Amino acid sequence: MNTPRLPRFSRISLCLFALSLLALAGCSSDVSYNAHDIAGVMPDMSFELTNEDGNRVDETAYADDRLTLMFFGYTHCPDICPMTLARLKAAMASLDEDVRNNMNVLFVSVDPERDTPERLKQYTQHFGPQFVGLTGTQKQLTKLTKTMRITYSYSEPDENGFYLVNHSSAVFVFDDEGKVRLLINQDETVDQISEDLQTLLEQTA
């Protein structure tokens, strides 16, 4: 496999990233969230990618008066990706149906070599109609992940050609205007995620 080697996330860089978010976002709102309030820390949602139907899309396809959650991963992920998407599905399940219908979960694959649009669509349909698979070229993915201040890298393939992808476990939440609002990490429970989404919806209503 001829994939580029990108810098790995170190524990130190993750800690510095989290600290910088807390420092910058500490005074952004009087509303209390379980997740990190990162309003104003990063640019508005912006990307050019390919969706699970094989169509080129940008952020305007999703910043349409809906809350948008964005998570980076890949379909061959053995643990973090399916667990995170399942947590989001469970958190959304406690919300009213009309609320769920006004939300998107964008699953951005950083493994475009294996994650074709067809595979992404097959994968996301297990979690619900709000879940949409996206991917892109390495250039597009690098641009987006750099904007979101995360990175990813590939392990060496084994004798069968299988490889793992190191990636961020954070979930970014954008409001109905495409502005970044929250960063959900792996420590938050399903109930806490659901509570945060409901609070954010009330604040943006």
Read off the DSSP letter of residue 93: H
- Assess contact for 180 and 44: CB atoms under 8 A: yes
Q: In which region does residue 173 sit, left (phi positive, over 0), alpha (psi from -120 to 50) or beta (all else)? A: beta
Q: Which CATH architecture group holds 11-204?
A: 3-Layer(aba) Sandwich (3.40)
**pLDDT per residue as tens digits for the range 78-136:** 999 999 999 999 999 999 998 888 899 999 999 999 999 999 999 999 999 999 999 99
pTM summary value = 0.86
Q: What residue segments make up the domains of the chain, in order of their start?
A: 11-204
pLDDT in tens, 70-85: 999 999 999 999 999 9
Q: What are phi and psi of 17, to 5 degrees?
A: -60, -50
With a CB cutoff of 8 Å and minimum separation 6, the contacts of 178 are 44, 45, 46, 59, 62, 63, 68
CA 82 to CA 60: how far, in whole Å?
27
